[in-house]
Amino acid sequence: MTSAGSVWYRATTPIIPCPAAWRLGAALSSPAPSRTIGGMREHVDAVLVDFDGTLFDTAPDLIAALNRVLVEIGHAPVAFAEFRQRAGAGAKRLLLAALEAQGAERPDDATLRSLIERLIAYYFEIETEQIRPFPAVVSTIERLRDADVALAVCTNRGERSTRRLLVHFDLDRHIEAVLAGDMVARIKPDPGHVREALEALGAEPARAVMVGDSAADVESAQGAGVAAIVTAYGYSPIPPHELGADAVIDDFGELPASIERLFRA
């Protein structure tokens, strides 16, 4: 997710432990380690990853918070399937799109700000309820770190919420750097965001890969001289194969093999 509206992400609620069953389920569904990690490691020292739509499926909680606001102001809730691909747009754009879809007039600026603040507050109340790592994320992140690949989260989401959710799923110990939207001078799609992540890892562009789900991820990566891989399962309203990335993966577990193929081509 790479919205300019990183206003979603200032969580203040306490960390909720992740049920062990989630981790067990992830482990049982994860692919067995492959030999492609070694082949990939010959070419790459660092992997930068987006958060929403790449590592985590955050859309259910975002849409639930949106629907709570809509109902409170007298509108019908939106269908999740119709708004999932808008989950990366940020609070303001998501709310305005929902109102437009129902034929409602755009609120005045003061009312809009109030509604956005309410939406964000509701989201933070529930942001750990339905969020899940996408399949093979946990096992692949672990395999990359075992191979001494440096990892950074490069997201327009704010730092506090990003770190909270990484801790919630016990992934923080594998992430060397977090470059959140409120920590950098320029957010994606500006290449400066990716350049700051590379600097934090001490990595060269030619030996790094950016993994995301949106046009902003591709633009920021390629503008910084970094190969871009996009997920086919993310939130982009544009078909993944039309984003101009160097490769597309259907499952996060395909990442090592995709990187190896990309650099051997």
State pLDDT tens for residues 172-207. 999 999 999 999 999 999 999 999 999 999 999 999
> Which residue in 44, 56, 30 sits closest to 258, CA to CA?
44
**pLDDT tier at 2 (50, 70, 90 boundaries)?**
very low
Which residue segment(s) compose the domain that 165 sits in? 6-57+132-264
Residue 1 lies in a domain: no
Total structural domains in the chain? 2
Q: Which of 50, 52, 213, 246 is catalytic?
A: 50
Q: How many CB atoms lie within 10 A of CB 64?
A: 18
Residue 155 lies in a domain: yes
Q: Are residues 89 and 139 in the same domain?
A: no
Q: Are residues 201 and 214 in the same domain?
A: yes
Helix (H, G, I), strand (E, B) or coil at 57: strand
Q: Are residues 244 and 179 in the same domain?
A: yes
Q: Which residue has the tokens 């910084």?
A: 224
For the question of whether the overall pTM of this predicted structure is more than 0.75, the answer is yes
Range with the lowest mean pLDDT among 12-16, 89-93, 126-130, 238-242?
12-16
Is 172 noted as a catalytic residue in this protein?
Answer: no
pLDDT(31) > 50: no
| Separation CA 189–CA 2 (nearest Å) | 8
pLDDT(6) > 50: no
Q: Are residues 33 and 145 in the same domain?
A: yes
Q: How far apart, in Å, are the Cα atoms of 254 and each of 111, 203, 229, 232, 259? A: 45, 22, 11, 11, 9
Q: Are residues 35 and 76 in the same domain?
A: no
pLDDT(20) > 70: no
Helix (H, G, I), strand (E, B) or coil at 248: strand
Give me the CATH number covering residue 122: 1.10.150
Residue 204 lies in a domain: yes
